[in-house]
Amino acid sequence: MVIDRLGELKRIMNIGAAETFDPATDSLEAIANALGIGPSVGLWMFGIVDATQVASLVTVITNNLQNVPNDLLEGQFWMQVIYNDSAPATAPEGEIRRITNFVQGGALQTFTVDGFTANVEAGDIVAIFHESLLTTEILARGTLDTSSATVPEDSTRTEGVDYFKGCLLLTTEGAVRFQPRRIVTSSAAGVFTLDPSNPFTAVPGLVDYVIIGGQAEFIPGADAVVNRTPADVIGGKADTIPAMNLAPAATWSIIRHLKAILERLGATPADPDDSIHTSVGQRDTAATADDMSALDTANLHAKIRRVLLRIAAAAYSVTVDPGGAARTDIESTFEDLGAMLAGAAGITTYPAAADIGNGVSMAEAIRAILTSIVGGDDYDAYTKINNVTIASINAAFQGIAGLFAAAGTNTFGPTIAGSPRTQMEAALNTMASYFATGGAAIAATVDPGGASRATLELILEDLGAMLAGAAGITTWPAAAAPGDGISFAEAIREIYDLVAALPGATVMGKAQIAATTIDLNQAAASYDLFTGTTQVVILESLNIKMPTGAAGGALTSISIQTDDVTPGVIISAAAGAVANLTSEADLGWTGALYITVGTKIRLTIGGGAHGAGYVCNVTAKYRAVVSGGNLA
């Protein structure tokens, strides 16, 4: 007896009687009865190790599988020891090995398998099952004729370049049996190049292997420089932080880049001066009490807080000109002081005279002095100070002692910006240069797309909003790779764009599912189910599920095929005959069809409409040949 095993059970032939059965019309029970096959033949069977068994790693003798034909259980069947009679729960119990030879001896059956790790002995119980019951799809099998931990070879393979790229190579015997390793490329000569970061733990030897369709990502080694897989690009937790003085390298992983960014922005690095966090500080950083010019001993937050505390303990608002407006910035405050001291506008509302004492202003005291000297506010018109002849009071106290020069031998000459300043105007101009070059009006735009700011307070508010405020950056700049002259915002946007561009669900080789419905209560014609979209895909399987109730009416059959010039037949009209469209029946297909962009998968209704609503569910499994491919 021979079973055709091309992916599914198609026919069973009795070589002696030349009997052929069609699975569409004959049940498996009828076939078994006609051929005299006992109930022990199936995709899954028990076996009892016979008393004649000699302890062996590779040979197993059973006594209860008399009806299984010779050689039937080779290649696609596997054996698992499910009970170790002499030592339960110890090896080889639970181990699974491929059956390489099966001899039917009548009362006894002899199996040859890939070696177990411990001997199989009399009284053990085994399970024999077909590989279709495995949860992992086996795409190919063979024997290595070149042994290597990184580039093993099977020169008999003919599938072509990169046919098995992305699949897993799994040896079933030898030193590294059952170690799945990813194939990153395969040649036409059968050379399998394995993931260099995750090779076999030893050379496999010239052993049997299978190739399975499941894909796996392995964590690359620390600071790996290869660039073959997404895992290589992302990196691993063990990747180290690069030195602070290194420019970003093309071989760095994303993890290394992120660690470098986090170190510079947040965590204290080996060299704290290189951390933005360390340099800028935090909003709750205490004010520094050290020398304001020593920028290497405290962060900017501490320095700024100290500057603000020296200017004002709370929100800055001061009225220095009696009768004038309240000022909220230093520039306007100094302008008012300048006007009060020497400006044309002078004091807006000069205060009344008051005797000198605690709580009395200079203006009040000056008015009191003038009143004491001349009896009121009227000092002769020719009496002026600074650029005007002074007629009395010792030339008006020698021009108010040269505008606030100290009395006696002392002179007004504070050192500002490294040089003595002998006039109040020069001193104030120099102080103004601390806030704007040359003492010019402040006009700085720190927020891209934001307004120009004329005060330090607003500039600091904009910086706070950009770093952590709710308003954020007004207009984000375009992305740019890190480099000289590139802002943090441009570099951060570059990183964001790169992360957003990583591949998603339609990546090449990843299994995808498409589903739709179709009502068979329609006229005899062909109707679209799916269309190849964006890139080429490989259709691997398709299933159509009937609703409750058998099909009928004018409907005689259905078929599913592509609209190619030579259609790819998925379900034929014979397989889709109305006799097979029974209540909740499944019609399935597995294989491989190349679906190009624009190719349609269509269902053809034969005969006519069912006569009432008869909606079927259609599900297709496929993989993109090029990332982005899908069935719509």
- DSSP code for 387: S
What does the block give as tokens for 533? 């979209």
Structural domains of the chain sorted by starting position, each given as residue range(s) with its CATH number in brackets: 38-133 (2.40.10), 135-218 (2.40.10), 281-311 (no CATH), 312-347 (no CATH), 456-500 (no CATH), 511-631 (2.60.120.1330)
**CB-based contact 525:604 (threshold 8 Å):** yes
Tell me: pLDDT of 494 over 70: yes
- The sign of the dihedral angle between the CA atoms of 151, 156, 161, 164 is negative
Place of tokens 């790790």: 117
Measured at the alpha carbon of residue 190, what is the angle toward residues 189 and 191, in degrees to the nearest 5? 100
Token digits of residue 413: 């000459």
Q: What residues contact 397, with CB distance under 8 A and at least 6 apart?
A: none
Strand 19-20 relative to strand 9-14, pairing: antiparallel
Instruction: Report in angstroms the alpha-carbon separations of 528 from 464, 538, 564, 623.
Output: 58, 18, 13, 20
Provide the pLDDT for residue 6.
35
Exposure of 510 by Cβ count < 10 A (0-12 exposed, 13-18 middle, 19+ buried)? Answer: middle
Q: What span, in angstroms and rounded, lies between the C-alpha atoms of 338 and 351?
A: 17
At residue 605, the 3 state secondary structure works out as strand
Q: Residue 425: what pLDDT?
A: 73
**In 248-329, which ranges are continuous DSSP H helix?**
254-265, 276-280, 300-311
Averaged pLDDT score across all residues of the chain: 80
DSSP 29: H
pLDDT at residue number 387: 63
* Between 444 and 615, the higher pLDDT residue: 615
Residue 128 or 459, more confident: 128
**Mean pLDDT, rounded, for 185-195:** 93
The predicted pLDDT at position 277 comes to: 60
Q: How many helices (H) and strands (E) does the chain have?
A: 11, 25
Average pLDDT over residues 55-64: 94
> Residue 75: its pLDDT value, please?
79
Nearest alpha carbon to residue 279 among 291, 260, 263, 290: 263
Within 8 A by CB and 6+ apart from 107, the residues are 63, 66
Region of residue 579 (phi > 0: left; psi between -120 and 50: alpha; otherwise: beta): alpha
Pair 393, 373: CB distance under 8 Å: yes
Higher pLDDT, 586 or 74: 586
Kindly state the average pLDDT of the residues 95-116. 92
Tokens matching residue 420: 């003595």
Mean pLDDT, residues 382-396 taken together: 57
> Which residue has 């620390």 as its token pair?
222
Provide the 8-state DSSP code for 279.
H
Grouping H, G, I as helix, E, B as strand and the rest as coil, residue 153 is: strand
User: What is the distance between the alpha carbons of residues 286 and 294, in angstroms, rounded to a whole number?
Assistant: 16
Higher pLDDT, 421 or 436: 421
What's residue 39's pLDDT? 42
- Kindly give the residue spans of alpha helices, DSSP state H, lying in 293-419: 300-311, 330-341, 362-374, 393-404
580 or 476: which carries more pLDDT confidence?
580
| C-alpha to C-alpha distance for 509 and 537, rounded to whole angstroms | 9
The yes-or-no verdict on residue 550 having pLDDT over 50 is yes
